[in-house]
Amino acid sequence: MRARHEAKIRGMEISFFVSDMTSMLEITEDNFDVVAAMDNALPHLSNEQLQRALRVIGSKLRQNGLFIASIRDYDELLNQRPGMQQPAFYGAPEERRIVHQVWDWIDPARYIVHLYITEKSNHTWTTHHFVSEYRCILRSELSNELESAGFKDVQWLMPDKSGYYQPIVVARWNLTS
């Protein structure tokens, strides 16, 4: 896992967990400083699942603990409704990896992503195809859901300020809400 590797490089001891964010049944602890859901994880959830996930996430945080999440900039993307994401190239030419996406819009607020990863290894090309549905969540909608679930001090960090490629939301858990 990349997070473990990065923590080790920095000499940090951090506990990492992976769990279904709508239940977190595998996680018995409930006094975390931070819970993170990065790289557009929340838009996989229905509205009901999102509400449940935010309550569960809050229940795992200590008072004033932080929830950090990133989502695509749907406030902008809904205006554009792109049909694809341009290919990105990784690796040296002899072990090249090409990643691109095709977006099929189902309705104004939902789309299906076809993710294609084409890899070259030992002069052979292999393509993998993954499909997932997303729900476009506007920043104001997620802010409102966070506040309804008991979070406070909701703040958005945009890519030009954070240096991260997606908008990031940061909110504090308020146990007394």
Predicted pLDDT of residue 130: 97
Q: pTM of the full predicted structure?
A: 0.86
Q: Is the pLDDT of residue 19 over 90?
A: no
Superfamily of domain 2-71+137-173: Vaccinia Virus protein VP39 (3.40.50.150)
> What is the rounded average pLDDT for all residues in the chain?
94
Distance, CA of 5 to CA of 43 (rounded, Å): 27
The CA-atom distances, in angstroms, between 24 and each of 39, 40, 150, 170 are 19, 18, 18, 20
Q: Is the pLDDT of residue 177 over 60?
A: no
Q: How do the domains of the chain map onto residue ranges?
A: 2-71+137-173, 76-135
Q: Is the pLDDT of residue 176 over 80?
A: no
- At residue 161, φ and ψ (nearest 5 deg) are -100, -35
- At residue 167, φ and ψ (nearest 5 deg) are -60, 140
Select 76-135's CATH number: 2.20.25, 1.10.287, 3.50.30, 1.20.120.
2.20.25
At 120, is the secondary structure helix, strand, or coil? strand
Predicted pLDDT of residue 50: 97
Per-residue model confidence as pLDDT tens digits over 86-126: 999 999 887 899 999 999 999 999 999 999 999 998 889 99
Per-residue model confidence as pLDDT tens digits over 47-85: 999 999 999 999 999 999 999 999 999 999 999 999 999
Distance, CA of 173 to CA of 65 (rounded, Å): 5
Could you give the maximum distance between any two Cα atoms of the chain, in Å? 60
Distance, CA of 145 to CA of 42 (rounded, Å): 12
Q: How confident is the model at residue 1 (pLDDT cuts 50, 70, 90)?
A: low
Spatial CB neighbours of 24, under 8 Å, sequence gap ≥ 6: 56, 57, 59, 60
Residue type, 95: E
Mean pLDDT of 30-45: 94
Q: Is the pLDDT of residue 17 over 90?
A: no
Which residue is associated with the tokens 């769990």?
19
Side by side, which strands form the sheet with 97-107?
Answer: 84-90, 97-107, 110-121, 124-135
Per-residue model confidence as pLDDT tens digits over 121-172: 888 999 999 999 999 999 999 999 999 999 999 999 999 999 999 999 999 9
